[in-house]
Amino acid sequence: MERMGMGSDRLALPALGADPSREYRLGIMGGTFDPIHYGHLVTAEEARDALDLDLVVFMPAGSPAFKAPERVTSAEDRYAMTLLATSANPAFDASRFEIERAGTTYTVDTLRALRAHYPSNVKLFFITGADAILEILSWRDAHALASLTTFIAATRPGYDMARAAEVVQSSGIGFDVRYIEIPALSISSTDIRRRVAEGKSIRYLTATSVIGFIKKNGLYRQDFSERVDEVRGVGGDLS
Ligand SMILES: Nc1ncnc2c1ncn2[C@@H]1O[C@H](COP(=O)(O)OP(=O)(O)OP(=O)(O)O)[C@@H](O)[C@H]1O
Ligand SMILES: O=C(O)c1ccc[n+]([C@@H]2O[C@H](COP(=O)([O-])O)[C@@H](O)[C@H]2O)c1
User: What sections of 5-141 are H helices per DSSP?
Assistant: 38-51, 75-86, 107-117, 130-134
pLDDT of residue 14: 87
Q: What is the pLDDT of residue 12?
A: 62
Residue 155: how many CB atoms within 10 A of its CB? 18
Residue 29 neighbours by CB under 8 Å, 6+ apart: 40, 43, 44, 47, 56, 57, 58, 59, 127
Ligand 2 contacts CB of residue 224 (under 6 A): no
Return the pLDDT at 224.
58
Q: Is 28 in the pocket of ligand 2 (CB under 6 A)?
A: no
β-bridge partners, 176: 150
Residue 222 confidence (pLDDT): 84
Residue 234: the pLDDT is 38
pLDDT of 1 reads 46
Interface pTM, i.e. ipTM: 0.98
Is the CB of 139 within 6 Å of ligand 2? Answer: yes
Q: Residue 216: what pLDDT?
A: 98
The pLDDT value recorded for residue 21 is 94
Q: Which residues line ligand 1 (CB under 6 A)?
A: 31-34, 39-40, 43, 128-129, 131-132, 154, 156, 185, 187-190
Q: Whose CA is nearest to atom 6 of ligand 1?
A: 129
Distance 66 CA to ligand 2 centre (A): 7
pLDDT at 232: 42
pLDDT for position 229: 46
Q: 108: Cβ below 6 Å to ligand 2? A: yes
Positions of the chain with pLDDT lower than 50, given as ranges: 1-11, 229-239
